[in-house]
Structure 1
């Protein structure tokens, strides 16, 4: 990563984010200095040779250095649980004395990712004039017990847990199936 930063400077291009930066904590100061984000897993490490030095506190260590940390997953299950992935990183940071507030950690999933894509002027935060999809949670969204209560996409409510027409039935063989057959 440090070599790529040098090459980018030499050839005049900009790196917005390093993905899969399992060892980003080692160069967090360089990332902060050059305004480069790290799109990283919460706790992957040791699963292959180049990930042997991965640590669970990678995200909070990058964050503490002043770089933009982004919770990343290229796994279908993990990408559905980015808030829980962030929660694991918050806990790992606390274990080594790094306190990350919920307000700071939510940025790992929202505005920091939008910034890395160059879209932070249009998405990533709730501001007048921006596009936003919003979830109202039953509890702290970093809790495994939190459930989405309402979901708005492009200003339209797409899910309301209190609406009996949207109650889901489950079947371990079929997965989740809407009771109304998937119609609106």
Structure 2
């Protein structure tokens, strides 16, 4: 009976330093139990200190390793042809001073941005005119509108980003998460293309 194996590489995986990456770590395997047991523990890469934070493993390398184990296996490929491996490094804990400095910078920066926007569109003048139209009185500080507006602005930002500290209101991703996902995809694609260019350059140099 012919030995058929279907492979689909993961888009991106994470690993630790000095870890041996097995085929089952970087790909989904669909095959008969006997075939799967033969190939799932094949080591496709040994992470070493010489590796950088990003490793790219090509499908052609995986095919060669499988053929060395059993050349009779019929390999069927689906999905991407590379898997991007991110090597996790120990992160330094932030000091209270650094955290406070970043928090204050973001807080006052966001506050200034909102105030400059309101000044550009003359938001205070708009509130004054609305107050005059409704009450018939002129008021330099129409707090009746400014206070609810400020509260609504904050609530609107919370609902827009779909987060309140660590609490998520629903399973729908926020616009910020979508943009971060797009950025991560573009970054991964760049790393893959750049890695291929580096490989071609090394071949030319040799």
TM-score band by shorter chain is: under 0.3
Please identify which structure carries the higher strand content: 2
Higher relative contact order (CA 8 A, sep 6+): 2
**TM-score of the superposed pair, with normalisation by structure 1:** 0.25
